[in-house]
Amino acid sequence: MTTHCEVCDRPLVRVAVPSDLREHAPEGAATVGTCPRCLRTYPTADDEGSEPDGEAKLPAAIPDGDGGVALLLALALLDSLATNRAAIQSLVEHAEASGADVFLTLDRLAADESVDPHVDLERRRRQLVSLLD
């Protein structure tokens, strides 16, 4: 099981993926690990006994609940908007339907100094607005 980010070597935060979002999760995983620093997402084992080291927490800007999970999965796909367009659109719609403000979250993450995202969030935000129009 992956317990640390392969790029940042930070402990991952384990997140349960609702069944209706698993098609967009890495390897269709029921549980993913998200790096709180670069926001990359990895498949993880879903056995309850395995917890990552430390007290890793997601950035405060990430909403709770299914909307937050959908947003995390969408963030993981933002490195290739063209290839992942349908999945990103579906995840953004799911996040918004669950009460998450996707664009406010992107703004807050871009301004958060503790986050060093794997993509340029400000640029991707502008592209995402165009993509979803």
Range of the domain at 59: 13-132
Residue 8 included in any domain: no
The domain total for the chain is 1
Query: Which residues have a Cβ under 8 Å from the Cβ of 33 and sit 6 or more positions away?
Result: 2, 3, 12, 13, 14, 15, 41, 42, 43, 44, 52
Give per-residue burial for 74-84: e unless 16+ CB within 10 Å, then b.
Answer: bbbbbeebeeb
pLDDT tens sequence across 89-103: 999 999 999 999 999
| Cα four-point dihedral sign 50, 52, 58, 62 | negative
Per this entry, what is the length of the chain? 133
pLDDT at 80: 92
Residue 5 included in any domain: no
Residue 46 included in any domain: yes
Residue 19 included in any domain: yes
Residue 3 included in any domain: no
Query: pTM to 2 decimals?
Result: 0.92
Residue 24 included in any domain: yes
Long-range contacts of 26-32, Cβ-Cβ distance < 8 Å, separation of 24 or more: 26/76, 32/72, 32/73
pLDDT tens sequence across 108-127: 999 999 999 999 999 999 99
